[in-house]
């Protein structure tokens, strides 16, 4: 009985056009990631996502790259949004800002200077300071993954002639 249910579910899913999420296919074979901080977690995640696709690999030398993704800035900000009458913080706004541009190895702009800015709200209480610190870290990681997804979607729109 259980096998029939599983088989029926598999047939239903296959028939509806369901497909696992894949990284976008990029139209170029090589890319250089330049201008990132030495131990940037963003560049590590970008590299992993690019190389998980079937068509593109990340190279270190600019002369080997068809396309160069140049980081212009990456910053994390934490701004107080709400306070109590006793001046205790109740809410923060977390911001993750990433500026970049994409060009060919010859210097032709494919994507001009662009900026991705993500914001998340974080409520805060002194009694749960450690938990809120972990939540903040989780939110920054989630925003980083969102930035990687957005950059990959923009890279998938690049066409080299």
Number of structural domains found in the chain: 1
User: Is 1 within the bounds of a domain?
Assistant: no
Q: What is the DSSP letter of 24?
A: P
Short-list 155, 62, 55, CA closest to 102? 155
- Contact in structure between 106 and 119 (CB atoms under 8 Å): no
User: Is 73 within the bounds of a domain?
Assistant: yes
User: Is 6 within the bounds of a domain?
Assistant: no
Decide if pLDDT at 13 tops 70. no
Rounded to whole angstroms, the Cα distance separating 63 from 73 reads 23
Q: What is the pLDDT of residue 21?
A: 64
CATH code of 119's domain: 3.30.160.150
Short-list 161, 71, 58, CA closest to 115? 71
User: Is 3 within the bounds of a domain?
Assistant: no
pLDDT tens for 70-100 read 999 999 999 999 988 988 889 999 999 999 9
Q: Domain residues for 88?
A: 24-156
How large is the average pLDDT for residues 139-153? 96
Which residues are 77's β-sheet partners? 95
- Which residue is it, tokens 């296919």? 25
Decide if pLDDT at 23 tops 80. no
Rounded to whole angstroms, the Cα distance separating 126 from 32 reads 44
Short-list 107, 104, 91, 95, CA closest to 140? 95
User: Is 104 within the bounds of a domain?
Assistant: yes
User: Is 2 within the bounds of a domain?
Assistant: no
User: Is 65 within the bounds of a domain?
Assistant: yes
Alpha helices in the chain (DSSP H): 2-15, 41-51, 129-156
User: Is 86 within the bounds of a domain?
Assistant: yes
Q: What is the pLDDT of residue 19?
A: 63
């Amino acid at each position: 009985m259980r096998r029939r249910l599983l088989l029926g579910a598999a047939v239903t899913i296959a028939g509806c056009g369901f497909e696992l999420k894949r990284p976008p296919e990029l139209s170029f074979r090589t890319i250089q990631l330049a201008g990132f901080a030495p131990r940037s977690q963003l560049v590590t995640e970008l590299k992993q996502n690019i190389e998980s696709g079937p068509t593109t690999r990340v190279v270190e030398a600019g002369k080997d790259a068809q396309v160069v993704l140049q980081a212009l800035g990456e910053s994390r900000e934490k701004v107080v949004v709400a306070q109590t009458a006793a001046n205790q913080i109740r809410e923060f706004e977390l911001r993750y800002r990433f500026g970049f541009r994409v060009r060919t190895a010859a210097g032709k702009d494919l994507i001009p200077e662009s900026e991705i800015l993500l914001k998340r709200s974080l409520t805060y209480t002194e009694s749960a300071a450690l938990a809120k610190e972990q939540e903040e870290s989780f939110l920054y990681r989630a925003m980083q993954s969102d930035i990687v997804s957005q950059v990959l979607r923009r890279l998938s729109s690049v066409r080299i002639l």
